[in-house]
Structure 1
Amino acid sequence: MPQPGFRVIPAASAPVLLFTAVLIHASPAGAAPSPGYGTGAEPVYIDLDFSRVDRKVDERFLSVSIDASFMTQEKFMYLLGSPKLRTLAKALTPAFLRFGGTKQDFMRFVPQRQYSPLKDYRTSSFHYTGNSCERFELPELLEKSLKQEWAQQALILYLEEQLGKYKPVNFSENAVDLLYAFTNCSGLDLIFGLNELFRTSDNAWNSQNAELLINYCESRQYIMSWELGNEPNSFEKKAGVRVDGYQLGQDFLHLHKILQESKLYSSSDLYGPDISQPRDHRKDLLTGFLETAAGAIDACTWHHYYVNGRDTSLEDFLDPEVLDTLAVKTNEVLETVNSLSPGKKVWLGETSSAYGGGAIGLSDTFVAGFMWLDKLGLAARLGLNVVIRQVLIGSGTYHLVDDNLDPLPDFWLSLLYKRLVGPEVLKITAASKSGQNLRLRIYSHCTNKHSSSYRRGSVTMFILNLRKNPATISLPAQLLNSTVEAYVLQAPEPGLEGLKSRSVALNGVVLKMVDERTLPPLRGIKLPAGKHLKLPGFSFAFYVLKEAGAPVC
């Protein structure tokens, strides 16, 4: 029997290779090696199918959200005018920006043009006219003041989330203008979540407030898509309101009709129902909804978090059994959708590491990248079309950008993913001679053709090493002379405590912005020809196979 290795499979080959989480021998404990080629641990041999694209996701696959809680006081919406934040957001395009979350179902649109939530500041020159992004910039002194106030507000909102008690909030045209200006000037595609908890006496959705908002947005010619309600399966717990799947479907059909009657929004997309991940006692909600209103939505959305932020641990973030729960829940949703609405796209409409606002000291640190990168790889492989990260900025501890508007480790990971990983998913398998299982997870896509300088036919692998010891990955004979560029991400400090760092090093260099408007260059290391790649312990990396020559790429 030939030795296992990396085989480029011709189109006529019969077997279809499936992904496996890789299991390897660990090398002796010691200092993590520098990124590059090397030996030491038993090699993991990989097979990659270049004959066809296994799946293809949306170019906006990695998308982001701003939680509706950001609008609880309109003055904080002015932070969206920060040139620094716009620089960071623009770097993640193409992407959707979802505005929604728990607070959306406690918000009321109240037109009051004469009202300025920042009447004590000189903001008359800071107004978005719809075609002047240069003027949509927050003055530096005002930004500093608002960031300080937001840090206090974020703590209040976090405590509100823990208590599960939500105060109603009003917002005006001004807040909508600021939100749209940010998305439009950053190049993001806005999805706006409407309040589903406005109910009539017979428990149908009361659309009056939504129509008021939709009419305003149409008068301003704001291009956007729509959602209705956030996690309707928890309405009873949050607000004492129970909505079954049939009624939820009727509510969406009502909104769909309103949009169809609009000149501007007749062709806009509608997404839903944004349910929580499946649980036995509420699986009927998605079934009833799809039986009633599958034709009204352009994608079926659901939410996923791995763990409870209140009682999780660092070990959970590195546990392959925890990571694999995504596949279990995804397959449950896909089975339901495919049986009732075959061909309907399925999205992770909101997702992060830990629910309840995130896990303090974990969700905003380097270790969170293991959950995030594995989720991106596994979701694409399983057939989810879009993954919306909770949140770009906002309350909680699972944000990509902190309260000072500085990028956190998961932002840099997301940026590298955007630049290097294309929408075409390739099949990959991996195995070691011993068959002993340790924690190495490998995914493969065509390299992004649009945001990288790599030639067509290039392939990007991304690999996660969930152990402290380095892992060795064996390249095939066909690619021994091929150039590989490595982008290895590690915590700046060693050991388990280093995994809680709010910084990340790329090939040994800690990443940070050059200035308020400039991102650093993200350069890979060109590796000399060789047989093995060595990935340090507790790290993850992107490897671009520049001369792979994959015909499907």
Structure 2
Amino acid sequence: MATNGMFVVCCFTAAWLLFVCHGSSIRPDVFEKINFESVRVDVDLDRVIHRVNERFLSVAIDASLVAEEKFMYLLASPKLKTLSSALSPGFLRFGGTKQDFMEFNPYSYHGRPKNSFPHLGDMCKKLQLPPALEENLKKEWSFQALLLQQEERKRKYRKVRFTEYAVDLLYSFANCTGLDLIFGLNALLRTSGNSWNSQNAKMLLDYCESMQYNMSWELGNEPNSYQKKAGVRVEGSQLGQDFVHLRRILSESKLYQSSGLYGPDISQPREHRRDLLEGFLENGAEAINACTWHHYYVNGRDTSLEDFLDPNVLDTLATKIYEVHKTVDAVSPGKKVWLGETSSAYGGGAIGLSDTFAAGFMWLDKLGLSAKLGLDVIIRQVLIGSGTYHLVDDNLDPLPDYWLSVLYKRLVGPEVLNVSVLSTLKSRKHLRLYGHCTNRRSASYKKGAVTLFALNLGKGTAEISLPAHLANSTVETFVLEGPEAEQQGLLSRSVKLNGVVLKMVDDRTLPDLRGVSHHAGDPLRLPRFSFAFYVLTEARAPAC
């Protein structure tokens, strides 16, 4: 095929490394010398294999933020709004474990005038959290997060009541940052016959409709773990009926009759309760707009740095995607599939890993592989909230995965291209490449531009040479590395873009995220343990 791209990759070995993580040495064989042979990478420029949602990369706010309602006022922070706006367009999911332990309990619902909360137009600028209050809330949140982590470890969840003010702040935040809100309803409110009790949800829906809050909905979080969390077992068939019940309620609303409904937000397929998804779809598939499931690679309590860099760990995602697709296609062919919640390590993340530069390998590979295998949306756990896998830390400063996400948003379009590495199995595992049409919505690139993104899990620097028919294409390169050498860089909570550490200019301004232009014919180099985006501005891909 004349327009196919063929890339040659050579890697140069480096000295043996020894990393120490969590007080113990990482196996030397993980970092043994890897002599990459010449690698050919085939890119089909003529055909789009999948087209994902324009909001493919989306984010979540953990429902634990409302465990004490005052912390919802952090959503009025100008800094957080600035950071979140850069992730638009996207969905904003408000959910997680805590959603099934919270109830709507308004202070003044019956007598409150409509549209009394300022959330539109100029009020997005006027409604700002005072700096002194923001500082106090951030300090208090650090202690609150520890309490929430203890609750998670003990699996004893405190019930929470939230008011209309929490809903107002949440909707205002989503509306002002260009994100589409998905609100997670409590599915553990059950009747004596073990069907869903919709009374509290109706009260919330009523309030949201009175305020004309345009939003979507979920019902329940990881129902296959209800027995462990609350001593309640819900079969898939009953869960499907619960969603049909909710869809019926939504259909009776002028505002929500065509709103999105997503579920069942099961955890990743395991032998235990494997039948839950099938039973749900047989009874409730027609009620939902997309089937959602959750994925994490490892247990945050016993993982290590080597797991975050292990291509075999990254490969496990494909198996889970195939399993979910197989079930969905068998029961409800054509139904879109989302990763409704996902990050690196479950259990709140891995301390000292999930919020560092090393986490980016799992995140970028998940973005590439999920799109290539046909998932429509993936929702990152979490923008802010409890745990250690957030994009923004407790001081509301952006972490490495935040910068990676913003670059992805700016450079990667929804059209997925087929990219394959034609070499030995070992080389294919350690050098991972994906390709999309370049995002022309948020970047000023010509029609036909292509974005490749790659991660190098090997010890050597990868040198990528473009083929002859693309030799005249200018390439803009965005290389992300740890700010220090070796282990210190991998475990850093900062990141360098083309050699410069990324920091906000001020609370309302992101830095320029500029690429480095390469002249025609110059090789592209990807350092060891780094990842990068390459925009081929003159690719003239027919598919793009």
TM-score of the aligned structures, taking structure 2 as reference length: 0.92
Q: One-letter code of the match for 1:51?
A: D
Q: One-letter code of the match for 2:381?
A: Q
Please state if 1:344 is matched with 2:335. Answer: yes
Please state if 1:27 is matched with 2:10. Answer: no
Match of 1:451 in 2: 442
Distance in 2 between residues matched to 1:186 and 1:447, nearest whole Å: 23
Question: CA contact under 8 A between 1:24 and 1:437: conserved in structure 2?
Answer: no
1:81 corresponds to which of 71, 76, 85: 76
Match of 2:57 in 1: 62
2:95 corresponds to which of 92, 96, 100: 100
Distance in 1 between residues matched to 2:184 and 2:428, nearest whole Å: 43
| Mean CA deviation greater in 212-221 or 524-533 | 524-533
Please state if 1:251 is matched with 2:246. Answer: no
* CA-CA distance at 1:46 after TM superposition: 1.4
| Mean CA deviation greater in 418-427 or 41-50 | 41-50
Q: One-letter code of the match for 2:90?
A: A
Q: What is the correspondence of 1:283-362 to structure 2 with a 5 Å cutoff? A: 283-362=274-353
Please state if 1:415 is matched with 2:406. Answer: yes
Structure 1 counterpart SS, 2:273: helix
* CA-CA distance at 1:222 after TM superposition: 0.3
* CA-CA distance at 1:23 after TM superposition: 9.5
Distance in 2 between residues matched to 1:325 and 1:371, nearest whole Å: 11
Match of 1:35 in 2: none
Please state if 1:128 is matched with 2:118. Answer: yes
Q: What is the correspondence of 1:427-438 to structure 2 with a 5 Å cutoff? A: 427-432=418-423
Match of 1:90 in 2: 85
2:108 corresponds to which of 99, 108, 113: 113
Q: One-letter code of the match for 1:158?
A: Q
Structure 1 counterpart SS, 2:176: helix
* CA-CA distance at 1:475 after TM superposition: 1.4
Aligned CA distance change for structure 1 residues 127 and 257 (closer, same or farther; 3 Å): closer
Distance in 2 between residues matched to 1:386 and 1:489, nearest whole Å: 24
Match of 2:113 in 1: none
In percent, how many aligned pairs have the same letter? 68
Question: CA contact under 8 A between 1:29 and 1:469: conserved in structure 2?
Answer: no
* CA-CA distance at 1:109 after TM superposition: 0.5
Unaligned runs of 5+ in 2: 18-34, 110-115
Q: What is the correspondence of 1:135-146 to structure 2 with a 5 Å cutoff? A: 135-146=126-137
Distance in 2 between residues matched to 1:139 and 1:112, nearest whole Å: 24
Q: One-letter code of the match for 1:140?
A: P
* CA-CA distance at 1:534 after TM superposition: 1.6
Q: One-letter code of the match for 1:217?
A: C
Match of 1:122 in 2: none
Q: What is the correspondence of 1:127-166 to structure 2 with a 5 Å cutoff? A: 128-131=118-121, 132-166=123-157
C-alpha deviations, 1:437-492, integer Å up to 9, x for none? 66110000000010001111000000000123211223111111211110000000
Distance in 2 between residues matched to 1:72 and 1:7, nearest whole Å: 58
Aligned CA distance change for structure 1 residues 393 and 357 (closer, same or farther; 3 Å): same
Q: One-letter code of the match for 2:494?
A: S
Question: Which structure 1 residue ranges, 4+ long, deviate > 3 Å from structure 2?
Answer: 22-26, 28-31, 40-43, 432-438
Match of 2:519 in 1: 528
Which gives a bigger RCO, structure 1 or 2 (Cα 8 Å, sep 6+)?
Answer: 1
Match of 2:371 in 1: 380
1:52 corresponds to which of 43, 47, 52: 47
Q: What is the correspondence of 1:218-297 to structure 2 with a 5 Å cutoff? A: 218-297=209-288
Aligned CA distance change for structure 1 residues 219 and 163 (closer, same or farther; 3 Å): same
Aligned CA distance change for structure 1 residues 42 and 7 (closer, same or farther; 3 Å): farther
Aligned CA distance change for structure 1 residues 337 and 214 (closer, same or farther; 3 Å): same
Unaligned runs of 5+ in 1: 1-5, 11-16, 32-39, 115-125
Question: CA contact under 8 A between 1:43 and 1:473: conserved in structure 2?
Answer: no
Question: CA contact under 8 A between 2:481 and 2:489: conserved in structure 1?
Answer: no
Q: What is the correspondence of 1:3-14 to structure 2 with a 5 Å cutoff? A: 8-9=3-4
Question: CA contact under 8 A between 1:105 and 1:195: conserved in structure 2?
Answer: yes
2:480 corresponds to which of 477, 485, 489: 489
C-alpha deviations, 1:107-149, integer Å up to 9, x for none? 01001139xxxxxxxxxxx963544212221111111111111
2:203 corresponds to which of 208, 212, 217: 212
C-alpha deviations, 1:231-271, integer Å up to 9, x for none? 00000000000000100001000000000001110010100
Distance in 1 between residues matched to 2:520 and 2:426, nearest whole Å: 27
Structure 1 counterpart SS, 2:237: helix
Q: One-letter code of the match for 2:226?
A: F
Distance in 1 between residues matched to 2:15 and 2:294, nearest whole Å: 39
In the alignment of these two chains, the number of paired residues is 521
Aligned CA distance change for structure 1 residues 286 and 435 (closer, same or farther; 3 Å): closer
Distance in 2 between residues matched to 1:305 and 1:42, nearest whole Å: 32
* CA-CA distance at 1:332 after TM superposition: 0.2
TM-score of the aligned structures, taking structure 1 as reference length: 0.91
Aligned CA distance change for structure 1 residues 174 and 148 (closer, same or farther; 3 Å): same
Distance in 2 between residues matched to 1:165 and 1:324, nearest whole Å: 34
Question: CA contact under 8 A between 2:11 and 2:463: conserved in structure 1?
Answer: no
* CA-CA distance at 1:87 after TM superposition: 0.4
* CA-CA distance at 1:24 after TM superposition: 6.7
* CA-CA distance at 1:41 after TM superposition: 6.3
Match of 1:190 in 2: 181
* CA-CA distance at 1:533 after TM superposition: 1.8
Distance in 1 between residues matched to 2:461 and 2:278, nearest whole Å: 45
Distance in 2 between residues matched to 1:262 and 1:281, nearest whole Å: 38
Match of 1:14 in 2: none
Distance in 1 between residues matched to 2:307 and 2:36, nearest whole Å: 25
